[in-house]
């Protein structure tokens, strides 16, 4: 596989950056504050992987006002606790360094808004490894639509079959597969192993270091 890999696209949350505690805390606060009720973490976690504005419609009962209050309250709380709750995954910078040293360009395709995504990248020291960031406020389509992944391939100037897309959600794997990329399931993220394997990724790995032989061949 390595000889045909020309570039690597990554999801961000749950793949490169451990934001599960941050996301769940922000969801809990927003839904409790606006709706006055607690929503089980399992239900909250199931919404992760799509843009926040899409997720909030699931609890807004069709009300634009409720949607906007949920959205704003989430972002306000997320901003307050960001530095306390965001974490790096082990060996992330080591792996990114090996990929770039091998001459592979790297990019990110995320459902996180670009400002928050860049903040997460800066907080964990990975921003310098990437050529670009495709986010829902910079590109009109979002995962599981393959269009943002295809856009990433276009920015690289490589065909999808020469590009890896790695992510920790079913939406990531659906988008990567439908784009025609080599798909890699990140099994250390926020979704259950069974959910990811059900999408039939080309590879499933338990640590980011396992990506190196797939992409580089050594």
Which residues are identified as catalytic? 11
The region, left, alpha or beta by phi > 0 then psi within -120 to 50, assigned to residue 9 is: beta
User: CA quadruple 105, 111, 113, 118: dihedral positive or negative?
Assistant: negative
C-alpha span between 192 and 49 (Å, rounded) = 13
Cα distances from 174 to residues 20, 34, 41, 87, 214, in angstroms, run 21, 32, 23, 26, 20
C-alpha span between 190 and 153 (Å, rounded) = 25
DSSP class of residue 208? G
């Amino acid at each position: 596989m390595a000889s045909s890999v020309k570039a690597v696209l990554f999801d961000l949350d749950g793949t490169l950056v451990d934001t599960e505690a941050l996301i769940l805390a922000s969801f809990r606060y927003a839904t409790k504050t606006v709706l006055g009720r607690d929503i089980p973490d399992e239900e909250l976690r199931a919404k992760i992987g799509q843009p926040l504005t899409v997720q909030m419609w699931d609890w807004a009962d069709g009300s634009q006002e409720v949607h906007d209050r949920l959205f704003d309250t989430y972002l306000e709380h997320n901003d307050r606790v960001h530095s306390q709750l965001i974490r790096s995954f082990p060996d992330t910078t080591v792996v990114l360094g090996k990929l770039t040293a091998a001459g592979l360009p790297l990019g990110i395709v995320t459902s996180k808004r670009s400002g928050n995504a860049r903040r997460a990248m800066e907080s964990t020291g990975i921003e310098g490894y990437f050529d670009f960031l495709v986010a829902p406020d910079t590109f009109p389509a979002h995962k599981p639509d393959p269009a943002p992944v295809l856009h990433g391939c276009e920015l690289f100037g490589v065909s999808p079959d020469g590009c890896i897309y790695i992510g920790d959600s079913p939406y990531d794997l659906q988008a990567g597969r439908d784009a025609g990329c080599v798909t890699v399931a990140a099994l250390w993220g926020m979704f259950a192993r069974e959910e990811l394997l059900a999408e039939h990724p080309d590879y499933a790995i338990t640590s980011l270091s396992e990506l190196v032989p797939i992409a580089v061949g050594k």
